[in-house]
Amino acid sequence: MPLDIDTPPPGQCIFCRLIAGELPAARVYEDELTVAFMDLGQLNPGHTLVAVRRHAATLLDLTAAEAAAAMHTAQRVAHAIQAAFDPPGIMLLQANGRAGEQTVFHFHLHVVPRHRDDGVGLIWPRRNPPRELLETHAARLREALSGTA
Ligand SMILES: [Zn+2]
């Protein structure tokens, strides 16, 4: 089953328009495969988005080169955030599919400066299944991985 996403009409993807310069953006960095710009909704000062230049809805739609470039750009931006804003923490967040909390369906990665008690929440309802079940899950993933490049 594919991820549950919205597919905007041609020419209507907000990040494609922003990358093309049709919408304003406070750009931070760009290279052949990625563009980094300030998130309009700043969780903390310096909160930056790293998007791929080509329209690709989710992580699953990226080429290996785009995936590598996105993480490389995120690391560069994280270094810049550390130098410019000196936060005690930095969080990467990347969402895929509606159920994964994705709201703009063009691949992007958040680089978020974090501070103690900054009010940014992440609900993380951990479960502790039996060890045998973990082995079953791992076997399913190993099998799936053996079928991918
Ligand atoms: Zn797009």
- Whether pTM > 0.85 for this model: the answer is yes
Q: How far is the CA of 14 from the centre of ligand 1 (A)?
A: 6
Per DSSP, the three-state class of 141 is helix
Give, as residue ranges, everything with CB less than 5 Å from ion ligand 1: 13, 15-16, 55, 106
For 98-114, what is the mean pLDDT?
Answer: 97
Whether the predicted pLDDT of 86 surpasses 60: yes
For 72-93, what is the mean pLDDT?
Answer: 98
Q: Where do the domains of the chain lie, and which CATH numbers do they carry?
A: 14-119 (3.30.428.10)
Q: How far is the CA of 108 from the centre of ligand 1 (A)?
A: 10
Q: What percent of the chain has pLDDT over 70?
A: 99
Q: What percent of the chain has pLDDT over 90?
A: 90
For 21-31, what is the mean pLDDT?
Answer: 97
For 63-91, what is the mean pLDDT?
Answer: 98
Quick one: pLDDT at residue 29? 98
Distances (CA, A) of 147 to 45, 82, 133, 141: 42, 39, 22, 10
Q: How far is the CA of 109 from the centre of ligand 1 (A)?
A: 14
Two tokens, residue 14? 């907000």
Polymer length of the chain: 149
Q: How far is the CA of 143 from the centre of ligand 1 (A)?
A: 32
Quick one: pLDDT at residue 51? 98
Two tokens, residue 82? 């550390």
Q: What is the pLDDT of residues 33-74, one digit of tens each?
A: 999 999 999 999 999 999 999 999 999 999 999 999 999 999
Whether the predicted pLDDT of 149 surpasses 70: no
Q: How far is the CA of 62 from the centre of ligand 1 (A)?
A: 12
